[in-house]
Amino acid sequence: MSDQTTDNAPLTIQGVRDLIAKEHNLLLDEDDPILVAVTMHRAALNEYDCLLQTHKQQLAKDMEEHVSSFALEVRKSTNSLLSKAVKANIENCLSVVKTHEGQMDRFLGSVRGLAIFASVMFCLSIAVSISVIVWGS
């Protein structure tokens, strides 16, 4: 029987013999049948460890897939929300520009009206000046 069933086994056959000697003051031979139980338990623990490692790898793979899928959905949602926000912002800016355009049209209409009034007053001023020159005061 070997001292250790696997390289990573924390409990060796010699370790069990030493433990029993220390705890029970009983020396076991290297070929004592009770040590078969240690080998069987070590093999069962190794199998269980392999099973746990396989499950751990599968869980990590599944988790990565779920996180990746979730991240993609979040990215789609944020892009959609961002698009809607940008579109709403653009529409808001266009609305403000349209409002200012209306105000500017009214202002230009007023300026045109005042320009026409100023032209009429200028013409009247020239006419009065000419009449004063021609007919006197």
Q: Indicate whether this model's pTM tops 0.85.
A: no
Q: Identify the CA nearest to 30 among candidates 8, 52, 4, 56.
A: 4
pLDDT in tens, the chain (137 residues): 444 444 555 678 888 899 899 999 999 888 889 888 888 888 898 999 999 999 999 999 999 999 999 999 999 999 999 999 999 999 999 999 999 999 999 999 999 999 999 999 999 999 999 998 888 76
> Which is it for the CA torsion 116, 121, 124, 129, positive or negative?
negative
pLDDT of residue 69: 92
To which residue do tokens 């009429």 refer? Answer: 120
pLDDT of residue 31: 87
SS percent in the chain: helix, strand, coil, step 5: 85, 0, 15
d(CA 28, CA 21): 8
